[in-house]
A and B are shown apart, each in its own frame.
Chain A
Amino acid sequence: QITLKESGPTLVKPTQTLTLTCTFSGFSLSTSGVGVGWIRQPPGKALEWLALIYWNDDKRYSPSLKSRLTITKDTSKNQVVLTMTNMDPVDTATYYCAHRDGDVVPAGWFDPWGQGTLVTVSS
């Protein structure tokens, strides 16, 4: 059974850097074809894809946020970390991590998802 859980601060100030950790079980990021992604959802709004990382350290970013995002993995700890710089109130959202499935990297789908963590950006 695959499970993922997000952790990190619930409140950050404008201009600060957000660091979120996704801790997972049931799969290994050292296995060929495996990936983990981050997706966010502002309150009452739609899902927005942020970043992907694969077993071979292949990384993909949302073009609109690429300059602010960094995704890394720690295979030994079964963790994926997302950092987002220069946080702004518009970045207030629930941030989800999800297992990336599919036979052809980086195409695929997200299944399952973590429970999400709400991050509020406010001074």
Chain B
Amino acid sequence: QSALTQPPSASGSPGQSVTISCTGTSSDVGGYNYVSWYQQHPGKAPKLMIYEVSKRPSGVPDRFSGSKSGNTASLTVSGLQAEDEADYYCSSYAGSTVVFGGGTKLTVL
């Protein structure tokens, strides 16, 4: 069971869109529609942003969206705002276990 692969960093200017990828295998991301995304600000606990690939929990702005193609899931943040600067982690069900990605630091320029 290997960690999902995410780019270490991503960036964008306020108002722009940024997409973060999360690559796994057919045993996790590609095999199930149970990809979730978490936002973590420094010193804080992770917060659920997307579940079941593309669903947003109540209270999460619709600027956040998720998708999946094959073994790669993606999180897109549209209309970047300063408060979106944080670490983002993807996670997937992996057939009786759970796997997380290595995390992506999103910087708002």
Chain A residues proximal to chain B, CB less than 8 Å? 37, 39, 46-49, 52, 60-64, 96, 101-102, 104, 106-116
Q: How many residues of B contact A (CB 8 A)?
A: 24
Closest to B45 in A: A113
**Total cross-chain contacts (CB, 8 A):** 69
CB distance from A41 to the nearest CB of B (A): 9
* Alpha-carbon distance between A82 and B51 when the two chains are bound, in angstroms: 25
A64 to B38 Cα, complex, angstroms: 23
| Cβ of A103 to closest chain B Cβ, rounded Å | 9
Among A101, A104, A113, the most chain B Cβ lie within 10 Å of the Cβ of A113
The residues of A that contact B36 with a CB separation of less than 8 Å are 109-110
Q: Which of B9-48 contact A (CB under 8 A)?
A: 32, 34, 36, 38, 45-48
Contact B89 A47 (CB under 8 A): yes
Sample 27 A-B pairs with CB under 8 A, ordered by A number: A46-B3, A46-B101, A46-B102, A49-B98, A49-B99, A60-B96, A61-B97, A62-B97, A63-B97, A64-B1, A102-B34, A102-B52, A104-B34, A108-B34, A108-B93, A109-B34, A109-B36, A109-B52, A109-B91, A110-B36, A110-B38, A110-B48, A112-B45, A112-B47, A112-B48, A113-B45, A116-B45
